[in-house]
Structures are given as structure tokens and as C-alpha cells.
């Protein structure tokens, strides 16, 4: 029988298995998780003939190297990077045939943060609560990749796409996040709300899959103390005691006690996955603050 598996040669700084996540379990304290750049994960799956929800690899900054034990079709997209098969350059953003035993290597990201690798048949680690995603906050799903790990692969379900290079957006030079103010914008001064929606912030190096942290002007509170814990949604912008906004991403906690000044429009979040530290961030309100 053909050995459908992928051996990890070089795990990279942080490479995880991700699919569309496990929504619907927040009442159990389980985040949604899933690929931070969902459209790119779906794209690489289409390129190799997988269904859009098949599990892929999500890399961080310095890529990954894997060796399939049988011939596969692979595709890499997201953060642009050099891609080689046994040292020979191959296409980025297009389906590539990888022979059994050859090493598929993704180099460091040239721009952006996260690259995505799909392999025909998808990665078929055991699902947890309906998803194969690694959740860094709760620890559910498979652990981050380590050198020598072996990942099972499914059987190919479709044919690779017939394209040379698939178009996709570039990583942002400026991250513009459209937000709906509230539910706790009234916990901040009117001047703080104006600052939030008019001043530029920067992506902090402390950002991760849990949240995009920012550097910039602190937001002054008008209400002292803390809230009882409230439910948190994907894209919620919580403001901790240092006054710098934090945008909750896929592995965010499901509850929190710091006030949420606004919530990001869902379609803006994939770009946040590719914003490198130092990228300017602007929060643009799609409705005005509450009357005071």
C-alpha cells in the first residue's frame, strides 16, 4: 500500500496544521482557531484539488521543509517565499508535483508573515471537536510541527487546478481595519475614541495567533475598574491596562474582562495575518461613536 504521509524535515519557527477551525464551541471555552488567512488556505487547497476545508500547513516567517513518502501535488501561497523541490526552484502560487522522497522546502518570507502549504489529499491528523486545527491557546489539535514528525495524508479527491500562477493580494504595507465601535466604547473618553479612529498605530512584535498587538497612543478610560468577564468574538479589539488596542485573532480567548472598544469587519482580518511587525495600522469606523 502506498504510504500517504508527510515527514517534517525542518519545522520552522512555528508551523501548525490548520483548517477552517472549530466554530460553535465558545460556550465550552474553546476558540474557533483555524487558518488566520482563510482565503489563502482555501486557495492552496483549490490549486491541488482539495475541498476548501482540507487541513493545510500554516508557517510563520521562516518556512518549513517536508518530505512526502509518496508522490503528491503541493501548492504554496500567502507570504511570498522561495520554494524548491530537492533544491530546484519551483513555482509559488501554483500546483507543483513533488516526487516521493523529495524535499519540498519553503524559504523565509520575503514579505508578509504566514505562508500556506496544501498537499493533495489534505493532512488527516485526527480531528478534535470536528477540526484538525492546532489551537495554541487551548492546546487542542495536533502540536506545532517538530523535526521528525510524520503527518498522515488523505487520498486525492480532485484534479489540480490548471493555472500557471494564481492571483492573490500582496501583504499589506498599511493595515486598514474597518471597525464597528462598541460594545464598550463608552468606557473611553471622547478624545480616546477620536484618537483610536484617527491616529496611526503599528503592529507589535508581540503579536501572535491569539491577537495582533499594537504600539501607539494609549487610550484613556472614562470608566475606572474592570468588567466582569464577557464573551469575546473574532475581531474584538480589547484594550488592556496599557491602553494599546489588541485585535483578537483565531486563537483568542472566548471571554475577557478588559473593555472592547470596537470589532473588526471579518473580511479585513486575513490581511492582519500577513502584517509584519512595524506595519502601520489604522482603525476606520464604519459608524460613529455613541452619543454621550
Q: Is residue 193 part of a domain?
A: yes
Length of the chain: 292
Q: Confidence class of residue 290 from pLDDT cuts 50, 70 and 90?
A: low
Residue 179 sits in the same domain as residue 148: no
State which residues form the domain around 211.
175-285
Q: How far apart are CA 145 and CA 160, in angstroms?
A: 26
Q: What is the predicted pLDDT for the residue at 164?
A: 79
Q: 143: which residues sit within 8 A by CB, 6+ positions away?
A: 134
Residue 144 sits in the same domain as residue 192: no
Residue 215 sits in the same domain as residue 81: no
Q: Is residue 162 part of a domain?
A: no
Q: Is residue 22 part of a domain?
A: yes
Q: Is beta strand 56-58 parallel, antiparallel or unpaired with respect to 81-85?
A: unpaired
Q: Is residue 266 part of a domain?
A: yes
CA distances from 141 to 11, 57, 111, 133, 152 (A): 17, 13, 28, 5, 14
C-alpha cell at 109: 518570507
Count of structural domains within the chain: 2
DSSP bridge partners of 162: none
Task: Summarize pLDDT for 257-283 with one digit per residue, the tens.
Answer: 999 999 999 999 999 999 999 999 999
Contact 68, 100 (CB under 8 A): yes
Rounded to 5 degrees, φ, ψ at 83 are -125, 130
Task: Summarize pLDDT for 74-108 with one digit per residue, the tens.
Answer: 999 999 999 999 999 999 999 999 999 999 999 99
pTM, two decimals, is 0.95
Q: Is residue 278 part of a domain?
A: yes
Residue 148 sits in the same domain as residue 230: no
Residue 183 sits in the same domain as residue 132: no
Q: Is residue 160 part of a domain?
A: no
Q: What is the predicted pLDDT for the residue at 2?
A: 64
CB count, 10 Å around CB of 292? Answer: 9
Q: What is the predicted pLDDT for the residue at 292?
A: 44
Q: How far apart are CA 171 and CA 173, in angstroms?
A: 7
Name the residue among 81, 87, 80, 120 with its Cα closest to residue 104: 87
Contact 131, 21 (CB under 8 A): yes
Name the residue among 136, 137, 285, 280 with its Cα closest to residue 204: 280
Residue 208 sits in the same domain as residue 147: no
Which of 102, 137, 152 is the last residue before a domain boundary? Answer: 152
Contact 66, 72 (CB under 8 A): no
Q: Is residue 205 part of a domain?
A: yes
Name the residue among 112, 121, 119 with its Cα closest to residue 78: 112
Q: Is residue 170 part of a domain?
A: no
Residue 17 sits in the same domain as residue 118: yes
Residue 217 sits in the same domain as residue 79: no
Residue 38 sits in the same domain as residue 109: yes
Largest CA distance in the chain: 70
Task: Summarize pLDDT for 174-225 with one digit per residue, the tens.
Answer: 999 999 999 999 999 999 999 999 999 999 999 999 999 999 999 999 998 8
Q: How far apart are CA 222 and CA 252, in angstroms?
A: 26
Q: How far apart are CA 183 and CA 132, in angstroms?
A: 32
Q: Is beta strand 175-181 parallel, antiparallel or unpaired with respect to 280-285?
A: parallel
Query: pLDDT > 90: what percent of the chain?
Result: 91
Task: Summarize pLDDT for 111-144 with one digit per residue, the tens.
Answer: 999 999 999 999 999 999 999 999 999 999 999 9
Residue 18 sits in the same domain as residue 147: yes
Residue 182 sits in the same domain as residue 145: no
What CATH number did the domain enclosing 185 receive? Answer: 2.40.100.10
Residue 145 sits in the same domain as residue 209: no
Amino acid at each position: 500500500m502506498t504510504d500517504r504521509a508527510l515527514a517534517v524535515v525542518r519545522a520552522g519557527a512555528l508551523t501548525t496544521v490548520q483548517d477552517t477551525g472549530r466554530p460553535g464551541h465558545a460556550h465550552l471555552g474553546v476558540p474557533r482557531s483555524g487558518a488566520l488567512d482563510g482565503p489563502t488556505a482555501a486557495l492552496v487547497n483549490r490549486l491541488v484539488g482539495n475541498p476548501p476545508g482540507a487541513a493545510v500547513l500554516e508557517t510563520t516567517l521562516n518556512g518549513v521543509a517536508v518530505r512526502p513518502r509518496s508522490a503528491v501535488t503541493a501548492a504554496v501561497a500567502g507570504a511570498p517565499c522561495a520554494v524548491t523541490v530537492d533544491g530546484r526552484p519551483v513555482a509559488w502560487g501554483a500546483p507543483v508535483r513533488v516526487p516521493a522522497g523529495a524535499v519540498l522546502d519553503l524559504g523565509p518570507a520575503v514579505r508578509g508573515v504566514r505562508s500556506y502549504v496544501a498537499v493533495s489529499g489534505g493532512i488527516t491528523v485526527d480531528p478534535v471537536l470536528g477540526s484538525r486545527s492546532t489551537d495554541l491557546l487551548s492546546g487542542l489539535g495536533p502540536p506545532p510541527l517538530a523535526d521528525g514528525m510524520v503527518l498522515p495524508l488523505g487520498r486525492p479527491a480532485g484534479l489540480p487546478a490548471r493555472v500557471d500562477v494564481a492571483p492573490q493580494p500582496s501583504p499589506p504595507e498599511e493595515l486598514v481595519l474597518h471597525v464597528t465601535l462598541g460594545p464598550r466604547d463608552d468606557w473611553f473618553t471622547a478624545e480616546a475614541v477620536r484618537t483610536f479612529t484617527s491616529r496611526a498605530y503599528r503592529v507589535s512584535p508581540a503579536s501572535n495567533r491569539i491577537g495582533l498587538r499594537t504600539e501607539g497612543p494609549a487610550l484613556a478610560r472614562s470608566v475606572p475598574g474592570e468588567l466582569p468577564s464577557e464573551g469575546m468574538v473574532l475581531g474584538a479589539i480589547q484594550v488592556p491596562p496599557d491602553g494599546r488596542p489588541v485585535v483578537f485573532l483565531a486563537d483568542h480567548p472566548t471571554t475577557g474582562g478588559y473593555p472592547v472598544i470596537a470589532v473588526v469587519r471579518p473580511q479585513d482580518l486575513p490581511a492582519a495575518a500577513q502584517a509584519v511587525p512595524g506595519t502601520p495600522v489604522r482603525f476606520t469606523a464604519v459608524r460613529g461613536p455613541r452619543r454621550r
